[in-house]
Structure formats: C-alpha cells, structure tokens
Structure 1
Amino acid sequence: MSAQSAPPLHILILAAGASRRMQGRDKLMEPVEGQPLLRKLACAAIGTGLPVTVALPPDRPARTAALQGLALSTLTVENPQDGMSASLTTGLAALPDGVAIMVLLADLPEIEGQDLQTMAKAQRANPDLILRATSQSGVPGHPVIFPPWARKALATMSGDEGARALLQDHRDKICLIALAGDHATTDLDTPADWARWRAKNGLSGGQ
C-alpha cells in the first residue's frame, strides 16, 4: 500500500480510567493551560482535522461536561473496571471498518497538536506499520497508530495490558516516531507527580 492510498485515520482517546492514585481527584480534570487536561487533548486532536472519538466511563459526568461543544463523538465504556482493553474494544466496535486508529491516552499533559500532526503524517507515509511515539531520547510512549490489519488482534485484548501483547508480537512491524522532549512519555498519576511537574515547568496549580 502506498502513502497515496493510506487508509483513513481516526483518533480514539481513552478516557475511561479511574484515576485511582489521585486521592479523590480526577487527573483528567486537572487544569492544564487553563482548561481540563481532557479538553486540552481533545482540542489538540480535533485540530488535526481527523475524526475524534472519546471513550468515557459511565460515572464521571465532569469528563463528559468538559467535552461539551467540541466537534467529536463520545462513547460509554460500560465496564471500565476491566482495564484499558475495555476501552479499546468498545472504541474499536464503534469505529468504521477499514480505518487506521491513533490510540491516544487521555493523561498525557505535554502532548500538543503538532505531535498528533507528526504522527498523522507518518501514517500517511507508512500506512502498513504500527507507529509508536517516543520521547526525543527514544523512550517508547504514546500515542500509537494501528493499521487496519491490527484491529482484529486489538479486539481480543483483555485486562489492563492494553495493546502491549500486540506490540510485542509484531515488533518487526513497529516504526518509532520521536516527538519533542518528553511529550510522549510524561504521564502523571498522583498529586505528587502533578506538583513536581508544575514546579518543574514553573506552573501554578491552576495551569
């Protein structure tokens, strides 16, 4: 398949996690650049011009509210306690057959629209490969783009491993795409993580 015939690309944002380590706070609602992290990432995704779908849990109305007015689709993951695979399989079932999927975790505060554009451009040039973002120094992270041929295997994932087994089984078909700085790997799971990150970047609690 040539770059000219690359399959359509959809962005699937996985936002059904429980934020269990946040001591009652919701990390996807943490303010980044003056808006909830989830909305910031959704806006970056929409800015690519690609179709965007967000997988949400049934019990976090604030996340749904944070996406109000945005040009995207949402879907409910009825069993988010089953781990990331539940979001993946629910999202896959809702997206058209034959399209490539950029899987974007919703808890990456440094991801910018340009990062997603970089990934989309790489997909057009390498439509048959799995494309995985890395930090500038080469540490694997997210997002990850899966071509249509990988969707069947993704749909069989279970537990909280996400697509790890698929990535392991198809190491020879992975192309690593370096993004700026640590954009692909900065994942903040606890209040202490958020405090350190804000201090490092000279940000207040409202940024």
Structure 2
Amino acid sequence: MGRPKALVEIDGEPLVRRALRVLADGGCAPLVVVLGAAADDVRAVLPAGVRAVEAPDWESGMGASLRAGLSALGGAGPDAGSDAALVHLVDLPGVTAEAVARLVAGDVGPAALRRAAYAGRLAHPVLLGRDHWPAVAGSATGDAGARAYLRDNPDVEPVECGDVAVPDDVDTPEALARFTAQSSR
C-alpha cells in the first residue's frame, strides 16, 4: 500500500477506526489494538477508550501482533480476565458489525473457537477462547498467525457470514479502489 494499512482511508475514515467501529457495533469490548508500523501515527487516530499495545517485533509478521494482543489480554493489565478475543484485521473493510455479532453470539467462554465462513470458506474474523491462547501464541509465527492451529483443530466452529460481509483483503491500491467502487454501488 505504500504506507501503514491502518492509516489508509475509506470515505475519510482510517481503516483502524473503521475496524474498531465494526467491532464495537458488533458487541466487542474491551477494544485492544496492536500497533506496529507508524505506531505513534496510528495511536493518534484511535478513539478514546481503546487500549493500544505495541508488538515490538511487528516486522516479523502478523504472528507477532497476535502474540502481543493475546499477551495484553492474558496478562495482569486492565483487560485481563477476558474469556475470549475476537481477532480482526484492519485490511478487511468488508467485514461488518453483523458478522462480528454472529461470531460473539451465545457462549463465548474460554473454550470457544469460531471462524467466519463465506460460502463455507473459512476466513476472518476469528474468535479465540482463552483456553486456546497458549497454543495459538506458540504457533503464531511469521505471517501465518494462527492459521496452522486453526486448520488442524477439529473444534473450530464455522459461522456463516457470507450474506452480511465480504472477506476480501485490501492489500494494494488496486484492491482498495475495487472495494471502494463496489461499496459505493
């Protein structure tokens, strides 16, 4: 993208704020953002009440961010005691609050393990119950995040979201332009 994706804007709204709005509107709290590239610039656009944590080794990939986020929720900090974490990426602007609400509906206790599905294809967001955090953190390396843990886990519950959300990444200016053109129709 040529700049940190969190600061890329759609309709004047940075992707990080858009993702936080979707999470809050979908019923998630507390909200924790993991920062990497341009951490100070991203922190400056965060809404009040959002906790920011930094992934010191963010350059190594999304696994570092996942480990930092789970550590922040699992430690002794203000958000400790959460039974589950909903993991969402800023470069998925087609994910809606309705999709998030489906993932967090019902029992979201420590054993929960859910993935959004789009016409049966598993994708993001992902709900990780606290019981899974140590194994997820242990397997989160490079840009794979929790992929291997989720792929091999028979307890993953798919939650169909294809009727209310689109799972497409906006990793390039062209993808962003396609998303913007489609969403304005």
Aligned to 2:175: 193
**1:169 maps onto 2:152 in alignment:** yes
Q: State the AA in 1 paired with 2:102.
A: T
Contact 1:108 1:183 in 2 (8 A): no
Name which one, 1 or 2, has greater alpha-carbon Rg.
Answer: 1
Task: State the aligned residue count.
Answer: 177
Distance between the aligned counterparts of 2:15 and 2:82, measured in 1?
A: 30
Q: What's the offset of the Cα at 1:119?
A: 1.0
Runs of 4+ in 1 over 3 A off after TM superposition: none
Percent identity for Structure 1 against Structure 2: 29
Contact 1:142 1:184 in 2 (8 A): no
1:119-138 paired onto structure 2 within 5 Å: 119-124=103-108, 128-135=111-118, 137-138=119-120
Change (3 A) 1:70 1:110: farther
Q: State the AA in 2 paired with 1:113.
A: A
Pick which of 41-50 and 79-88 moved more.
41-50
Q: What's the offset of the Cα at 1:169?
A: 2.4
Contact 1:110 1:184 in 2 (8 A): yes
Distance between the aligned counterparts of 2:172 and 2:37, measured in 1?
A: 22
Contact 1:141 1:184 in 2 (8 A): no
TM-score (norm 1): 0.76
Distance between the aligned counterparts of 1:25 and 1:88, measured in 2?
A: 21
Q: State the AA in 2 paired with 1:70.
A: A
Aligned to 1:144: 126
- Structure 1 unaligned runs (5+)? 1-21
Secondary structure of the equivalent of 2:141? coil
Contact 1:79 1:86 in 2 (8 A): yes
Secondary structure of the equivalent of 2:167? coil
- Structure 2 unaligned runs (5+)? 74-79
TM-score (norm 2): 0.84
Secondary structure of the equivalent of 1:173? coil
